[in-house]
Structure 1
Amino acid sequence: MVDLVDVFKIVQSYKLRADFKGALARLLEDNVGHVHSRSGKNVTPLSVRTQELRARALCKAFEDFHQGGHAIQSPYRLEAKHVQLLVEIWLAQGQTSSTIDNKLTHLRALAQWIARPGLVTTLADYVDLEKHGWSSPDASGRKMSFSGDGIDAVAVIEDIARTDAHIAAQLKLQAVFDLGVKESFVFRPKDAARCRDFLAIVRGPKGSCLRMVPSEVKLAVLSEAAGLADQYTGTTMRDRLTKQQWCRVYYGVLKKHGITEKGLGVTGQGLKRRFLEQVCGRLPNHSPPLTVADDNTYRDTHHTVEKHPATVEALDRATKESSYFAMQSGPMETRLPMVTHLEMGKALVWNFEDESHQAGAPRISR
C-alpha cells in the first residue's frame, strides 16, 4: 500500500476558492501517488516527499493563475489557453526555463488525470526560446542544457576540483553511480567499498535506465571519494556541515563555475551526462553507458576489477584488501588454517572467559 500525503492540509494553505479547493483536493487524493512516466518503465511508487512537491506545485500554479486576474471554474476545466497564460505569468515573474519546464511537467501529469493527455506540451510550444536566450532542444528532442553536448565536462569538473575537490568528487559519484544530488551528499564511499555487490550496480535509484559503466571507472571514482571522506561522518561533505548547509555551498560553487543555462548553457544533469560519455569513450571497446542493451557486455571486465585490491582503504596487506569486494571466499579460505572440532574444544576450555583468546589460540578470527 502506497503512503499518501495529506493533500487536504496542503490545499488549505493556498488562496483559492472553497469549491475549487475541494475539487482540487479530491483530484490530488485520487492521483497524486501515481507515477507519471512517458516510458512506462518506472513502477516505483512516488515517495511522500515527491507527492507533496507535486501537490504544492499544482496548487501554486492555480493560485498564480487566479491572482493574475484570470478565472477557471474547476481543475477539470483546464485548457491549452490556460497553460499559455500560466507560462506568460511565470515569464513575467522572471522564472527560468528549468523552473517553468518543471511546472509544466506537473501540469502534464494533471492533464492525464483529467483524461486530456495531449493538453500540455513542451516549453518551446509556448515560448520563443532563442528570444529569451534559452537553449533549444536538439534533434532527439532533448534540451542542450541537459545533454551537455559541446562541453568538455572533464575539464569543467577539474576546474571545479581546484575550487572544492569534495564537490567535484560528488559530481563524479552522481554521474558514475547515478546518485541524486542529495544522495551524493550522504553517500559514504568507504562503506560502499566494503559491499561485495556495489560495483555490480547497473541501474540508478529510479531503475528506469540501464547504465553499464565500466568497473574500472567506478573504482577510480570510489577511490577518489574515499580519500576525501570525513573521518567522523564518512561522507564527502566537509567541515561537518548539515545537508542543508552543504546544499547551499554545492550550488554556490556550480553557479560560480557557470553550471547554469545562462552561464555555460549546461545544467548539472547535462554536465554529469557529458562527463560519463567522455570518460567511458576514452576506454577501448566501450560504448556510451546510457545506451547499452546487453547486461553482460562488461561482465569480464567487472570480474577482473573485482579482484583489484581495495585501495580505497589504503591497507597494507593485499590479502586483507581483496576481501573488501567479491573475492572474500577465496582469500579467506587460503589464509585461514583448518581447525578441527577437538582443537576448538581445547581453545574454548582453556580460554572460556575471553572470546579473543579463544579465537587466537587456533589462529582464526572470532
Structure 2
Amino acid sequence: MANLSAPNSNRRRQGSIDTARHTRYEPPQQVLDRYRPGKADPMRVLEVLIELFNAQHTALNKTVSHKTRQERADFLRRFFRNLRLKAGFKTLPDPRNLGQKHIQAMVTVWQRERLAPATIQTYLSFLRGLALWLGKPGFILKPDRYGLSLAEYQRHEHALHDKSWSAAGVDIDAVIGRVCGYDPYVGASLRLIRTMGLRRKEAVMLRPHCCVVAFAATGLPIEQRQADEYVWVQQGAKGGRPRFVPLDSLQRIEALQFAQSVAQGPDAHMGNPGRGLVENLRRFDYVMARFGITSKKLGVTAHGLRHQALIEHYIEQTGGVAPPVRGGEAGLELDAVARQSTARLAGHHRTRASGAYLGAVLYRRQHDEQAELPDEDALPAGD
C-alpha cells in the first residue's frame, strides 16, 4: 500500500480554486457575469458562490467534508445578514465588493460579543476562503490588523486540565461494562476509543473485520514497526487523514475481538446496521447521556476517553513519566519522542497538536513563567 501522507504537490497554488467538478457546463466567471454588481441581490450572489466553490478545500486539491461545507455556508450567510442587523450597514454589499470596512465592522461585533479565540480564527478562515473564491488572496488581513489582541484570537493549543476519566475518579471498566450490557454497539465503540484513542465518529464507522492489515500493507517505515498487524483507521478520520494503530497489546486485541463479535457481517461497521450514520451518532450521544457520561454528571465526556488513551500512551512511551497536564516532567528529548508518537496515534500531522491532550511542552511552560516574572531592577528595595 502506498504511503498515505499527502505529497507537496497536493497543496493548492495560492489564489487558485479548482471548480471543474462544479461547473461542468460553463466557467464560473461566466456564471457570475450574469449577476451584475449593484443590480443583483447580494444574497443571491452569495448562494451562487457557495454553489460554485463551497465543496473545495481552500489549501489542498481535494473536497471538504459535508460538515465543513455546511458550517462555512451557514457562517457566510449569517455574516452578510449581520452586516445589516449587527454592524449597522443599511445596504448589503455584493460579495464581490466586500471591503475592509465590512470586515472591520464585523470583527468589532465579535469583540463586543466576546467570541472565543477559536471561533474568531474559524470565522477569519472562512472569510479567507471566500476571498480565494473571488480571486483575492491576501484580502483578509492578520488578526492584529483588525485590532484583535493576542488573547482574543490566539487558540490555547495545550490542555490546562486533565480531561481523562481517571482524573475525574471514574471507574472506567465498570462504566464501559454497563454500557456494553445496555447497547453492545456503543459499548464496543467505547472500548475502541479507550484502547486506541479513536474519535467518536471513527469508532462508530470502524469496520472491525476488514480494517485489520499486516504491517507490510501499511507502507510505514520499517523502523516504525510495532506489531505484526494494525488497525487501519480510515472512515470518519478528521481531515480525511487515515492512520494505522498497532495491535501491540492484549487490551487492543481484546477490544477489537469484542467489536468483531458485535459487528454483524465481515463488512459491517460498529453502528447498529438498522440505523444510518447520523442516527448511530445520535444513539451514541443518547447512551452517553443515559449513563451520565457528561460534563454535568460524571464530569467526563466520551472524548475524555480519547484523552485517557493518549495520556496513557505518553506515559508508556516515557517509561512511566506523566505528561505536563498531570504535573510530570520528562526530559526534553524523551518528551519530544513521546509527543510525536502520541500525535501519530491521535491522527495528527503536527506534533504540537498533542499538547491539547498532554499539556504544554516543559521548556515552553518554563519560558512563559519566566516571562511573567517582574524585572528585579524594577522591584522596590527590600522586596
**Aligned twin of 1:333:** none
Given the alignment of the two structures, is residue 79 of structure 1 paired with residue 103 of structure 2, yes or no? Answer: yes
Cα gap change, 1:151/1:273 in structure 2, threshold over 3 Å: closer, same or farther?
closer
**Aligned twin of 1:236:** 270
- The 5-angstrom pairing of residues 315-354 of structure 1 reads none
Please tell me whether Structure 1 or Structure 2 has the larger radius of gyration of its CA atoms.
Answer: 1
> Is the 1:87–1:100 contact (alpha carbons within 8 Å) kept by the matching residues of 2?
no
The whole-number CA distance in structure 2 between the counterparts of 1:292 and 1:233 is 26
The whole-number CA distance in structure 2 between the counterparts of 1:68 and 1:27 is 23
Cα gap change, 1:30/1:235 in structure 2, threshold over 3 Å: closer, same or farther?
closer
The whole-number CA distance in structure 2 between the counterparts of 1:79 and 1:120 is 11
Give CA deviations for 1:267-323 in whole Å, capped at 9, x if unaligned.
655642442231453367683433469xxxxxxxxxxxxxxxxxxxxxxxxxxxxxx
Question: What is the RMSD of the two structures over their aligned residues, measured on CA atoms?
Answer: 5.0
**Aligned twin of 1:164:** 179
- Aligned residue type for 2:208: P
The whole-number CA distance in structure 1 between the counterparts of 2:263 and 2:123 is 36
Identify the match of residue 77 of structure 2 among 55, 59, 79.
59
Identify the match of residue 88 of structure 2 among 60, 67, 70.
70
Cα gap change, 1:35/1:180 in structure 2, threshold over 3 Å: closer, same or farther?
farther
The whole-number CA distance in structure 1 between the counterparts of 2:48 and 2:258 is 49
The whole-number CA distance in structure 2 between the counterparts of 1:200 and 1:58 is 41
**Aligned twin of 1:290:** 342
Given the alignment of the two structures, is residue 250 of structure 1 paired with residue 284 of structure 2, yes or no? Answer: yes
The whole-number CA distance in structure 2 between the counterparts of 1:211 and 1:35 is 21
How does the TM-score come out when normalised to structure 1? 0.51
- Aligned residue type for 1:80: Q
Cα gap change, 1:152/1:207 in structure 2, threshold over 3 Å: closer, same or farther?
closer
**Aligned twin of 2:226:** none
Cα gap change, 1:258/1:185 in structure 2, threshold over 3 Å: closer, same or farther?
closer
Give CA deviations for 1:10-38 in whole Å, capped at 9, x if unaligned.
xxxxxxx943125434554665344246x
Cα gap change, 1:259/1:84 in structure 2, threshold over 3 Å: closer, same or farther?
farther
SS of the aligned residue for 2:209 comes to helix
Runs of at least 5 residues in structure 2 that lack an aligned partner in the other structure: 1-17, 29-38, 219-228, 320-336, 346-383
SS of the aligned residue for 1:151 comes to coil
- The 5-angstrom pairing of residues 91-170 of structure 1 reads 103=123, 105-107=125-127, 109-110=129-130, 114=136, 115-119=138-142, 141-142=156-157, 144=159, 149-153=161-165, 155=170, 158=173, 160-165=175-180, 166-170=185-189
**Aligned twin of 1:32:** 54
Give CA deviations for 1:317-359 in whole Å, capped at 9, x if unaligned.
xxxxxxxxxxxxxxxxxxxxxxxxxxxxxxxxxxxxxxxxxxx
The whole-number CA distance in structure 1 between the counterparts of 2:298 and 2:41 is 46
Q: Percent identity?
A: 19
> Is the 2:294–2:300 contact (alpha carbons within 8 Å) kept by the matching residues of 1?
yes
Cα gap change, 1:55/1:226 in structure 2, threshold over 3 Å: closer, same or farther?
same
Q: Report how far residue 195 of structure 1 moved.
A: 7.3
Identify the match of residue 189 of structure 1 among 184, 199, 208.
208
Give CA deviations for 1:193-212 in whole Å, capped at 9, x if unaligned.
47784744677646787967
> Is the 1:178–1:203 contact (alpha carbons within 8 Å) kept by the matching residues of 2?
no
- Aligned residue type for 2:342: L
The whole-number CA distance in structure 2 between the counterparts of 1:249 and 1:19 is 42
Q: Which has the higher contact order (CA 8 A, sep 6+)?
A: 2
Cα gap change, 1:108/1:279 in structure 2, threshold over 3 Å: closer, same or farther?
same
> Is the 1:28–1:55 contact (alpha carbons within 8 Å) kept by the matching residues of 2?
yes
How does the TM-score come out when normalised to structure 2? 0.49
SS of the aligned residue for 2:57 comes to coil
**Aligned twin of 2:328:** none
Cα gap change, 1:208/1:156 in structure 2, threshold over 3 Å: closer, same or farther?
farther
SS of the aligned residue for 1:216 comes to coil
The whole-number CA distance in structure 1 between the counterparts of 2:49 and 2:343 is 37
The whole-number CA distance in structure 2 between the counterparts of 1:153 and 1:58 is 38
The whole-number CA distance in structure 1 between the counterparts of 2:48 and 2:84 is 19
The whole-number CA distance in structure 2 between the counterparts of 1:150 and 1:43 is 37
Counting matched residue pairs gives 261
